[in-house]
Amino acid sequence: MTQHDKTPEAKAPQGRKITMKNAFGFGLGDFYGGGFGQTATYLPVFWVTFAGLAVDQATSIMGIATILSAFAALVVGTLSDNFYRYRIGRRFGRRRFFLMAGIPLLLVTAIVWIPGLPVWLYFIGYALWIIANQLIMTPYSALPTEMTTDFDGRTKLSTVRMFVSGVTSSGISLLMAAALAGMGEDHAYAYQISMVGLIGLFCIALFICYKSTWEFTPEQAGFDVEKIEAEAGQPFDFGKWLKNVADIFVGYFSTLRIKSFRKHVLIYLLGQTFMDVFGQTWLFFVIYDWNKTAAFASLLLSFALIAEPFKPVFGWLFARLGPRNMFSLNFAGGIIGLVGLFGLWQAQRTMPQNVWTVLAFVVSVWWFIFRAMVWFIPWNVFPFIPDVDEIVTGKNRSGVFVGFQLFLRKLTSGLATTFIGLYLATTGFVKPAKDASGAMQYPSQPISAQNGIAFVCIGWVIIGLIIAWIIALTFKLDKRTDGILLKEIDRLRNGGLKKDVDPETKKVVEQLTGIRYEQCWPQTTE
């Protein structure tokens, strides 16, 4: 039997198997991760409506803070990979420590929901909110690679994670629909009470995640503790420190050598960034184009919960169809849903209201099912990317990959958010204002502003998905090819010679890495 006749099964570290209890505890980390993005959906409307900010001010604060905080992902990724060099890391973990460290920072960021503060304070509060996200989610996203090497085990972790994330997003939308309808969307406290309560729940979920997960020991991660302790007693060497800093940046950009990662990160960035664009303009689209309330927009968002029972089906399809076919299914369905949302806007004046409302729910549910896939698929792909890198470097650098991926994610998201506000400001957008009685009023927007909102919320997203689809058609990493990689890594780690490689294995390695096989795996002699 050759190497490619049967996909090998990798064993979990230390013989530990991924149970549903483990998977759910791990997935609670994305109760915060999914909730983070959903709460940001309401922030621009809150600032424009209650804090007196113009739409370009609100989005520029979010965009610039996101761009600046993107560099935190680089720092955290490297720090997480090397945290076993410090005693605190060896005591609390190089990944899981940061889950706990982010909790107090989250509590401070509640200031962004206080009206009447200076613009600079909103900027600082939101920057801390984004930095806390990097501090928590960068190490968190590296955990599946260390908890197990089994394809199905990793898929279980990612599937439950995406399920929790999706339920959280829908649950927050339902909560906000109820809060806005019950307390009145013209009152700031309807937003404040809900959001501060959610921050408290995020902290509890992160603590449970910390207690439910595990990671490599220092020895499994390749750290020589005795050597580290010996080096700690030596005098500080500035030249060596400077070299280490340079090596950090070289390490991050070296991830782009890996062909599969380049394609994966482009697909990921296009999908995630344009989901941010949709999320940050959805309320504006519903309020000013569909002429509905923010509560109605939240109610529609809550129907994304219907997508959650499909998550196990997504996981089953992912394991059998592979990433490439799943991406095609995702992007085709998503584009159809967006076209439907645009069509509802155009048909609003010519269609009976009851029919229009039913179609609004149907089309929204369709879109939200496929929107869920945009998050689901890349994070199911990611745990296998470090395997591709390991066949090249001989190291597990999952933290570097997560850090660089999230750095790029925040960078593109920040740029997109900034451009949203700048673009909408040129369309003649009129911000809400209080009437003589003090009640907040949402003004009718000029046609140019309505068209601009629709172009951003629908048009930009469709364009992004089309580009991502084209790239995904060339993606080669799947269960079979990852299995071949893992078997070859085991063979080389156990002293196998590169000259004895199976031809099919060599072909797969070169397809996935984009590097000649002879240049892979550090091996001095044969």
DSSP states along 153-204: HHHHHHHHHHHHHHHHHHHHHHHHHHHHHHH-TTSHHHHHHHHHHHHHHHHH
Q: Give the whole-angstrom CA distance, residue 228 versus residue 83.
A: 11
The single residue listed with the structure tokens 């791990």 is 26
Q: Give the whole-angstrom CA distance, residue 184 versus residue 180.
A: 5
- What local confidence, expressed as pLDDT, does residue 335 receive? 96
Q: Does residue 241 have a pLDDT over 60? A: no
Within 10 Å of residue 97's Cβ, how many Cβ atoms?
21
Q: Give the whole-angstrom CA distance, residue 96 versus residue 80.
A: 9
Within 10 Å of residue 236's Cβ, how many Cβ atoms?
6
Q: Does residue 202 have a pLDDT over 80? A: yes
pTM of the model: 0.68
**Range in 118-127, 238-247, 373-382 with the lowest mean pLDDT:** 238-247
> What residue segments make up the domains of the chain, in order of their start?
15-217, 254-477, 486-519
Confidence of residue 409 (pLDDT cuts 50, 70, 90): confident
Confidence of residue 332 (pLDDT cuts 50, 70, 90): very high
**Range in 85-94, 178-187, 487-496 with the lowest mean pLDDT:** 178-187
Q: Give the whole-angstrom CA distance, residue 429 versus residue 452.
A: 9
Q: Does residue 3 have a pLDDT over 60? A: no
Confidence of residue 184 (pLDDT cuts 50, 70, 90): low
Domain range 254-477, CATH class:
mainly alpha
Q: Does residue 518 have a pLDDT over 80? A: yes
- What local confidence, expressed as pLDDT, does residue 370 receive? 92
Backbone angles phi, psi at 73, to 5 degrees: -65, -35
> What DSSP string runs through 249-271?
HHHHHHGGG-HHHHHHHHHHHHH
The single residue listed with the structure tokens 């907040």 is 440
Within 10 Å of residue 357's Cβ, how many Cβ atoms?
14
- What local confidence, expressed as pLDDT, does residue 192 receive? 74
Confidence of residue 329 (pLDDT cuts 50, 70, 90): very high
Q: Give the whole-angstrom CA distance, residue 235 versus residue 13.
A: 36
Q: Does CATH number 3.30.465.10 belong to domain 15-217?
A: no
Q: Does residue 288 have a pLDDT over 80? A: yes
Confidence of residue 116 (pLDDT cuts 50, 70, 90): confident
Backbone angles phi, psi at 433, to 5 degrees: -150, 160
Quick check: do 15-217 and 254-477 share a fold?
yes
Residue 329, C-beta contacts closer than 8 angstroms, at least 6 positions apart: 317, 321, 373
Q: What is the CA radius of gyration of the chain?
A: 24
Backbone angles phi, psi at 434, to 5 degrees: -80, 145
Backbone angles phi, psi at 293, to 5 degrees: -90, 165
- What local confidence, expressed as pLDDT, does residue 142 receive? 77
C-beta of residue 174 within 8 angstroms of C-beta of residue 166: no
Pairing type for strands 433-434 and 440-441 reads antiparallel
